[in-house]
Structures are given as structure tokens and as C-alpha cells.
Amino acid sequence: MNLKIAVLAGDGIGPEISAQGVDVMQAVCNKFGHSVSFTPALVGAAAIDAVGDPFPSETLRICQDSDAVLFSAVGDPKFDNDPSAKVRPEQGLLAMRKQLGLFANIRPVETFPCLLHNSPLRPDLVAGADFICIRELTGGMYFGEKFESDDRAYDTNAYTRPEIERILRVAFDYARRRRGHLTVVDKANVLASSRLWRKIAQEMAPQYPDVTTDYMYVDNAAMRMIQDPRFFDVMVTENTFGDILTDEGSVISGSMGLLPSASTGTGTPVFEPIHGSWPQAKGLNIANPLAQILSVAMLFEYFDLKAEGALIRQAVNASLDACVRTPEIQVEGGEKYGTKEVGEWIVRYINDAPLA
């Protein structure tokens, strides 16, 4: 297979983890006889500094001309600490999602047996937790009508039937391929937009008789994720609720540096770690590259290259079992590995692994 990949490293630790993702992808392609080309492009604060736009038209063109985007992170303190800034790095991320038509964010949440002790929850609660959060990504308050003055502000949480139907189809299809359980998360007792979500979900559920569909208010879902994360198989929700719940779910595994995500829709799909740019760690070689590397696994799997994705997952699990880990998940007294060293170990594992 020939793959054209746009590489958007972004800000902070982005370039460091991006390099490891690219190296792993190249190693897998070499292993399985695929050809791959990488085209870098600016996004976020780096793009603002260079051309004044967090998602330049040239970056959009490169993304549209590619089979997939390997994205890392955006964000910089100089914008975070300036509430008057009119242009922000995060606007680049929102623009990418909107302009590429990426309406579905897929975030798997899973635990790793050797890291159960790292979770803030008791090991007996999180052992075996394995679910997917599907977040609607281009509607709701983040994109609705806005107003802001010194005395009043609002954000409009608007959704249409087609927007809701298309994300629900994604969720039902994922549930059908997994354990057949879908939880629709809303706030239908208070919000009109949520009542539309629930109404449409109830209309669609009979089309998927092999899926058990239940409904949960967002506050209850937040509690249930802590009390019993193994209850969930696939959950689907709107943009703002999804942003909050997916970050809550991410800590179940014990580190935000462990979990990848995919954003899909009508245009070029984007694969990225769920964490941010962690500017305080920039250049220190301490950032965990595993979420970026597992995003590469999701990329291969998106193109139905299951063996390629499986080898990456095998390599990541082997690195964890061998305690080849960055500082935030390393065992006490364990050898020190940096971002680069973890990536190099995984590349060597891939190179040395026999093909089935």
C-alpha cells in the first residue's frame, strides 16, 4: 500500500513525540512492504508565529492531499495567559476539524495490567476496563452562535437532525463490532438539544436489534465512569460533554500519555494523542510517546491493516512489560528512558519481530 501522511507536529512536546510516531510508522511500512511519504505542515502556535494563522491554507491543502494526518498537539502559555488574544493555537485544531469535516472523535479507554497501580482508581475497579468514547466534534457550543461583552456572554448549543444521526450511526456501528452495548449520554431532563439527541437515538435503536441501547444523563455517566468503568462498551455524546468525559476517562489508564484517538468524517482522517502540548516539558526528552505511537496503530487499522496495528500494540505492551518507560509511569528505581529512547526501543522491537 502507498500512504501519503501529513505530519502536523504542532507545539510544545509535539515535535518530540511526532518524530517517534513517524519513525514507528516508517519501520512498520518497511516491515510489511508498504511505501509511505511524510509531508510536514504548520499548525497551532508555531503556525501563528510563522504566518499569523493557526491553521494556514497551505496546511489545509496538504491535509486534503494526504491519506491521513498524524497530529501531535497545540498550545502555548503566551496565549493561555493573554485573555485578550484574538488568535489562539486551539483555533487551529477547531478549524482543522471543521474544514476536514471531522465530526466523529473516537477515543478508546483501556487499562494495561502492568500499570493498574498507576490509576487513581483501585486496581479492582479498573482491571479489564475497555470502552470507547465517541464524541460529536463539529457541532454544539464550540461552533454555535456566540456573544461576549463585559456584562453578558453566551454560547449556543445547537444541533440538527442530520448531525445527530450521522454520529449515532458511527456509534451503533462501533457497538455492533464490539460487545453490542451502546450508552447514549445526554442531559435530556434539562436541555432541549439533549432531548433531540435522545429522541433520534430512540428512533434509530430498532435499526440495530443486535445492540443493547441505554440512556444516561451526563452527570450520572461521569459518576458511573469512576464507580464502574467496566459497565461501558461504547458511549456517544455531544461535543462539550464528550470533551469533559473523554478527559475523565483518560486518567483511568493511569496516564494521559497512553491513549490515542482518531477523528473521522467526510475528509482526511486525523490520528492524535489525547494529551496536550505540555510546554513545560518541551525539549526535556521526558514526554511519553506511546499515545502518539498508538495513534499510528489506529491509523493502520483505519485502512484495514490489522496486522500492522497489532504489531505496534504488541511492541508497546512489550515496552511497558520491560519497564522501558518515560518517568511518569516508570517503576521506582527503574532505568531512565526518555521520549527518544522509548521510541527507538519500539522501532528495534518492530524491526526484530518475525512476521506471522
Q: Which residues are catalytic, by number?
A: 142, 187, 219, 243, 247
**Residue 89 burial (C-beta neighbours within 10 Å; 0-12, 13-18, 19+):** buried
Q: Give whole-number Cα distances, 129 to 24, 203, 243, in Å.
A: 27, 29, 20
Sheet strands side by side (includes 260-264): 35-40, 2-10, 68-73, 270-273, 260-264, 104-110, 130-136, 234-237, 181-186, 212-217
Question: How far apart (Å, rounded) are the C-alpha atoms in residues 253 and 131?
Answer: 11
Over the Cα atoms of the chain, what is R_g? 20
Judge whether 247 and 261 are in contact, CB under 8 Å: no
Alpha helices by DSSP H, 216-268: 218-227, 239-250
Tell me the sheet residues that pair with 131. Answer: 109
Residue 121 exposure: Cα atoms within 13 Å on the Cβ side: 22
User: Would you tell me how many other CB atoms lie within 10 Å of the CB of residue 77?
Assistant: 12
**Residue 303 burial (C-beta neighbours within 10 Å; 0-12, 13-18, 19+):** middle
**Residue 15 burial (C-beta neighbours within 10 Å; 0-12, 13-18, 19+):** middle
